[in-house]
Amino acid sequence: VLIVFETASHNGSVAPAKRAHPAPAADLTSAPPVSSEPEKAATAKRRVLAAPAVRKLAFELGVDLEQVQPSNANGRVSIEDVRAYAEEARDTSPAPSSTAASEQQPAAISQPQQRSVLPAPGSEDKREPLTGLRKRIAEHMEYAWRTIPHATAFDEVDGSGLVALRRALLPVAEKRGVRLTYMPLLLKLLLPVLKEFPIFNASLDEERREIVYKQAYHIGVATAAPEGLLVPVLRDADRLTLLGIASELERLVDGARKRSLTRSELTGSTFTLNNVGSFGGASGTPIINHPEVAILAVGKLQEKAVVHEGQLVARPMMPLALSFDHRLIDGARAGAFLARFKELVENPQQLLLDML
């Protein structure tokens, strides 16, 4: 922009102002050229081989699959690889420095001093770390609930026939030194139902997306221990007699409470039976013991008023709750499973047909 100043000369005329010359333009040719394309990565990202279930778990744990080294020879990342990487990252992550944190905090604004209110003696919250068995139980329950789409079917069974059968067999069991509870009877009645509905004795291979039908019948029995709930496993239950089941169950339950069982006695179950009544509960909604696909909870036997053959009578009733994996089992099949189990419990003499 040119600015002209006019000043009066001695003779009163206006003298033309000197014209300002613009500053020379900056030399733009010396600036380095700007690249029009972004720089390419130094190394190309490798293609990660992983099943959808593995990718889902990695996303929930915040794990970058490209950083996980596969343990399989085929290069596929497994669920165990993701968990191991997440556990290692959690153990090796450095704790934040208190000095660095204090340096990053802005200076506090001066405020009028307030009187601090001290908590009443004994009212402070108590904290304790989640460790040991309780931590493993929590992680297992959390993974099962997050991974399996649970659904639960409920029913109620008349336990009159079961009570009569135990009363008749109790003297024989006592002579042989065996403690006969309702649990061995229920387990023995459960086995033919599992064979009739094999999907309930199966598991889902989440990486290969295949249903695995188990040929063995290893029944887990939920047991209350001082540090939490344990599930000892009754292996090859279908090959044992009723008194054999009762004797082995007593040994496993006692070992679970004393924490004397081995790892092989606490893993590998194909189906779990949970006697909520033994904990003093009337009923409950069980969580599936992953990688199983179903769990049956039986409640406490209690006398209730029911209508039987047109008459209001008192009967020992027992609630049932069957939780199942809705990816493999639908409601109709769960209902049929409960109906068959209910039929055997109410008429346990039907087991004799398999022995004749």
Q: What pLDDT sits at residue 59?
A: 86
Structure confidence by residue, pLDDT tens digits, 265-317:
999 999 999 998 777 777 789 999 999 999 999 999 999 999 888 899 999 99
Burial 84-123 (b: 16+ CB within 10 A, else e): ebbeeeeeeeeeeeeeeeeeeeeeeeeeeeeeeeeeeeee
Q: What pLDDT sits at residue 102?
A: 47
Q: Give CA torsion, residues 284, 289, 292, 294, to 10 deg.
A: 0
Burial-class residue 208 by CB neighbours within 10 Å (0-12, 13-18, 19+): exposed
| SS3 assignment, position 271 | strand
- Give the H/E segment covering residue 294: strand 294-298
Q: What pLDDT sits at residue 117?
A: 63
Q: Kindly report whether the global pTM for this prediction surpasses the value 0.85.
A: no
Helix residue spans in 159-214 (DSSP H): 160-175, 182-196
Catalytic residue among 21, 218, 308, 326: 326
Q: What pLDDT sits at residue 77?
A: 87
Contact (CB, 8 A) for 228 and 133: yes
| SS3 assignment, position 142 | helix
DSSP of 118-139: PPPTT-SPP-----HHHHHHHH
Q: What pLDDT sits at residue 231?
A: 94
CA distance 77 to 80: 8
Q: What pLDDT sits at residue 116?
A: 61
Q: What pLDDT sits at residue 31?
A: 47
Structure confidence by residue, pLDDT tens digits, 279-288:
777 778 999 9
Q: What pLDDT sits at residue 236?
A: 97
Q: What pLDDT sits at residue 67?
A: 86
CA distance 201 to 213: 7
Contact (CB, 8 A) for 6 and 16: yes
Contact (CB, 8 A) for 294 and 288: yes
290 is a catalytic site residue: no
The amino acid at residue 227 is E
Q: What pLDDT sits at residue 57?
A: 87
Low-confidence ranges of the chain (pLDDT < 70): 1-46, 93-119, 122, 353-356
Q: Which residue has the tokens 């604004």?
A: 109
Domains and CATH numbers, the chain: 49-87 (4.10.320.10), 148-354 (3.30.559.10)
